[in-house]
Structure 1
């Protein structure tokens, strides 16, 4: 019975770790998408936007 309980704890720890890694990856992707350098050009006759690609 003790081995089964230990197995459940191991699976729970693995799932918690996987969820934490997934959350970190999503956070990085969100940060990367929102921190792009943008230059807005607004002169008479022309309007545009330049984004910096890495």
Structure 2
């Protein structure tokens, strides 16, 4: 069986692309998570204020 070899340039380039994709995915996921939490907290605060006004 013939073993397939990869050049150093190909290996480094591939690892760079993979690391960039993983970093981007983590960044987008964290941005979504914290934006969603912030939006929910803001909505709850506004609804609580509206409820207090209506309850008076």
Q: Same fold (TM over 0.5)?
A: yes
Structure 1: gaps of 5 or more residues: 47-54
Identify, as 1 or 2, the structure richer in helix: 2
Which TM-score applies when normalising by structure 1? 0.68
Query: Who is 2:21 aligned against?
Result: 16
Which TM-score applies when normalising by structure 2? 0.66
Q: Which has the higher contact order (CA 8 A, sep 6+)?
A: 1
Cα RMSD for the two superposed structures: 1.9
Structure 2: gaps of 5 or more residues: 1-5
